[in-house]
Amino acid sequence: MRFLTPIIFDPKLDGKLVDLSPGIDNVKASAVNFYEGVTKDEVVKYYDDLKEKSSNKLLSFGLNSKVVKQNGRVAEDVWKVGGLYDGALKKVVYWLKKAHTVADNETQKAHLDHLIKYYETGKLEEFDEHCILWVKETAARIDVAQGFIEVYQDPLQKKGSYESVVSMKDNEASKRIAAISAQAQWFEDHSPIAEAHKKKSVVGISAKVITVLGEVGDAAPSTPVGINLPNADWIREKYGSKSVMLGNIMESYNEVKAKSPATEEFSASEEVVQRVKKYGALASNLHVDMHEVIGHASGRINPGVATPDKTLQTYAGTLEEARADLVALYYAVDPKLVEIGVMPSVEVGKAEYDQYISSGIMTQLYRIKPGDNLEEAHMRNRQLVASWVYEHGKKENVIEKVSRDGKTYFKINDYDKLRVLFGQLLKEIQRLKSEGDYEAAKNLVENYGVKVDQPLLAEVHKRYEKLNIAPYQGFIQAKLVPIMKGSEIADVKIEFPDDFVAQMLEYGEKYSSLPVRN
């Protein structure tokens, strides 16, 4: 209690999970538990030296460890069986070995083997082997995406947070995404980015829609709607990546959104309200498809330029999300999507523009407190994109800031010109990723993605409070109950609990395997 009380109640102690402010020691300022007793400079130097000494420079150095001081020297405490998080990882390995016995095919067996070895040894080579085979494995009906994956919670964007998503392929819904994926090279060739930054042959984008069976760690109770992995750029370039849309999650979100009174409250006109109601759900689905399948997989880094975590540093995450969003936005109103049969008309794309601008400039502000600025990568990205196109289209009145009865609206006057602006910003963000232009990255994010229009934020809060909608949504997971015949599982019954707190307490009671202090 003495240890926890100040952490929970003293706002001055570890007040921010990740503090990305420029000009400070981001490692010291961030509350996240990836570093203890070390400075940013010490960590950067530690990994520079490690890479220098390593025979394999492609490894994701620092992905699975905590950095600490041991006897005055910087050292890694590796997350593995017998290392840090031993109790939890032993259980993970136990269940992976069980999964191994019922794997769908040999490739799946092999990638599980490497994943198990990775947890047992902590060797990053094993994780890379696992990822390569995981990308190649596209036939199985049941799949798992697992490991220390996303690096958003690390101010230096090296440390992965643990997540696991077990899923089943939705064959019917996967057809839409397959139609998009089949055109990957067309999208790359017609992209507004510089020729030198295009991939000559886009390899191995495999995409599918899945039904989530269970999610843990970083993926729950608030979950992504799309996953594109692995994250290692060299694997993506050489072997491609696997994209999955979380179908049942998106369906739930869309159902809630369709009924939301926020559409009426924040839309600039009745025409927009009608369009969003009619096409908003499909527009969101297509946006996620294009973001994951085409966006993240597009573009190339110039030969000899390092990876973005090295070149763009704390701005890499935000700009990567912006880049993927901009690919989706640029093509949202393209007749190509009508031609390949994934949307009935470009009106769907217009609905996406309506939703994106309103969310990026205004409605997402409901998620932060008055006085705060934006920290989270996806939120920074959305504001960056929306406010950049607003600013750059001002002269031609592409997006108009309208005030009616004391309420602010952002009205899109010219959808075609807006598309051109999305294309220009995409070209610039691809350029700075390809060239590793830190200064340009910093200026872009700091000028457009961080600072919040405080009077607008106050207004958004006031308008939302009347609507009584929660700013974030989380999920209570379905419970899979085995029906046993002797010692065999004969069937599985799906239960749908409806008490979030009870589920969290049940998880804590049944599955906690770690000490309070790690």
Q: By CB under 5 A, name the binding residues for Zn ion.
A: 321, 324
Helix (H, G, I), strand (E, B) or coil at 211: strand
Nearest to Zn ion of 46, 330 (CB atom): 330
Report the residue closest to Zn ion, judged by CB: 324
Residue 288 C-beta: closest distance to Zn ion, Å: 9
CA angle (436, 441, 442) in 5-degree steps: 130
The candidate with the shortest Cα–Cα distance to 22, out of 490, 413, 444, 453, is 444
Residue 129 C-beta: closest distance to Zn ion, Å: 25
Tell me the two tokens of residue 468: 């009584």
Nearest to Zn ion of 65, 243 (CB atom): 243
Nearest to Zn ion of 217, 262 (CB atom): 217
Contacts of residue 440, Cβ cutoff 8 Å, sequence gap at least 6: 428, 431, 432
Residue 444 C-beta: closest distance to Zn ion, Å: 17
Secondary structure in 3-state letters for 52-105: HHCCCCCCCCCCCEEEEEECCEEEEEEECCCCECHHHHHHHHHHHHHHHHCCCC
CA dihedral (234, 237, 239, 240) in degrees, to 10, reads 120
> From CA 456, how far away is CA 370, in angstroms rounded?
10
Nearest to Zn ion of 289, 321 (CB atom): 321
Residue 291 C-beta: closest distance to Zn ion, Å: 6
Contacts of residue 244, Cβ cutoff 8 Å, sequence gap at least 6: 143, 145, 167, 207, 208, 209, 210, 226, 227, 228, 292
Nearest to Zn ion of 113, 215 (CB atom): 215
Residue 308 C-beta: closest distance to Zn ion, Å: 13
Nearest to Zn ion of 276, 324 (CB atom): 324
Nearest to Zn ion of 83, 360 (CB atom): 360
Residue 161 backbone zone (phi > 0: left; psi -120 to 50: alpha; other: beta): beta
Helix (H, G, I), strand (E, B) or coil at 169: strand
What single-letter amino acid sits at 253? Answer: Y
Contacts of residue 379, Cβ cutoff 8 Å, sequence gap at least 6: 364, 367, 368
Nearest to Zn ion of 245, 324 (CB atom): 324
Alpha-carbon dihedral sign for residues 92, 93, 98, 100: positive
Tell me the two tokens of residue 368: 């932060």
